[in-house]
Structure 1
């Protein structure tokens, strides 16, 4: 079964990182972190959220944790003042009560034990500290990727299982993230949509990062396919992207669900 691949920061930026950066800004607009806060970026990836925090507040004390050393190298380059380390968000090698805020951007969909991850975020924040998690609404709000996954589910032997793996358990649908935060004992739990636009110059801009980079879930799926099937799949995906119109720019709405809560004081 295809899994999430995180081995090339450059390829990831072309496929998903550019949208993570846009969502990070929208997420911070909602959170309004205090000046000089100690912030954990749990599952920091290539550093999109850490970089956005640093741009807004040069005094913020940022710690990032991720499983991918390749992604961490990118995060360190983007935020030289930050502290970035290899680690598992379900077993953080960090002390209790260490942060003003613990944030998770686009991570929990891919964590096997989500409850453990949220419990760790709650553990490492100070009493009264903020915990926030955002995840794409794969089912109802991620049109650019749904166009791809529905195409391969209808045409490829492996496609239905691939779609089911991520779309049958949509942690970004309303109510799911907030339930995790409540179960972790957080208070003042709230949830809302955060919306961005994903703008593509043409079909090549949409398809190319998956076909050439092999990152994330879509790129990893494409990379496992036999080469002789790729031209047909590309042609079908082109039809899905163009939707009867000429190739050219497209702008898709992407919806993420953001849940926030505070540790008991």
Structure 2
């Protein structure tokens, strides 16, 4: 599985959702002028850009382990402090930020608890930490369609709804509470995107990005064709444009002062 891709490739696959989600997510989280913010797992910079719009690029930092994503984010948000780093080893001193956020990353971390501990370390006392992940089981139609079709042709397919942790409000709230955060609150966030046709939906999976792309590009031609047909059928065999919705779950809390 890989997220080390160009911004264009990522945008075709997931950026069409994450750009909208960034705005909705930060509306839930909040933020005040003058605050310093860090985006953990910034990808090509969707959330970083929204943070910079509200706070100013000089007040925003971002980190990602992907070299290509770090370059894309730095290019997208000039003036932001963008560094290559994993969530469990953030290269900033203690209590640097007022707000630390992470979008669509927490469930991919090898040790989410270690990631949250680092987020706690770099946020000031009284500061806010927030994250969001997709509702893979029911709310993310693009992926739900793909994995339901995959399971039909291959019962052993690695459905993200089965393999991913931290994809419900309850799981996120529990992690925040056990990490020592206070004023914990959660919310479901919904966005949507339009596809020009079925190929606009299907071809991004052929780029090999994320679990879905990695799985699709690992298949033999016959199985891949059956998977493609299954996805098309589940979407109603569209001949033209269609819209899909996506639901994420978000959590926010404060570091004790």
Whether 2:194 is the aligned partner of 1:199: answer yes
Give the match's secondary structure for 1:171.
Answer: coil
Query: Residue in 1 aligned with 2:158?
Result: 162
Q: 1:248-263 counterparts in 2 under 5 A?
A: 248-263=240-255
Q: 1:6-21 counterparts in 2 under 5 A?
A: 6-21=4-19
Query: Residue in 2 aligned with 1:175?
Result: 170
**CA RMSD, aligned part only?**
1.7
Deviation for aligned residue 1:30: 1.6
Q: 1:29-48 counterparts in 2 under 5 A?
A: 29-48=27-46
| Ranges in structure 1 where 5+ consecutive residues have no aligned partner | none
Give the match's secondary structure for 2:169.
Answer: coil
Query: Residue in 1 aligned with 2:100?
Result: 102
Q: Select which of 205, 210, 215 maps to 1:216.
A: 210
TM-score by structure 1 length?
0.91
How many residues are aligned here?
A: 257
Query: Residue in 1 aligned with 2:230?
Result: 236
Query: Residue in 1 aligned with 2:148?
Result: 150
Q: Select which of 23, 26, 29 maps to 2:24.
A: 26
Deviation for aligned residue 1:24: 0.1
CA distance in 1, matches of 2:238, 2:205: 21
Whether the 8 Å contact between 1:4 and 1:220 is mirrored in structure 2 is yes
Deviation for aligned residue 1:216: 1.7
Give the match's secondary structure for 2:193.
Answer: strand
CA distance in 2, matches of 1:47, 1:59: 12
Whether 2:239 is the aligned partner of 1:247: answer yes
Whether 2:185 is the aligned partner of 1:185: answer no
Give the match's secondary structure for 1:192.
Answer: strand
**Runs of 4+ in structure 1 displaced over 4 angstroms?**
none
Query: Residue in 2 aligned with 1:132?
Result: 130
> Given the superposition, is the C-alpha separation of residues 118 and 178 from structure 1 closer, same or farther in structure 2, using an over 3 Å criterion?
same
TM-score by structure 2 length?
0.94
Cα deviation per residue 1:213-258 (whole Å; 9 max; x = unaligned)?
Answer: 211221121111223433332222211222xx54222222211111
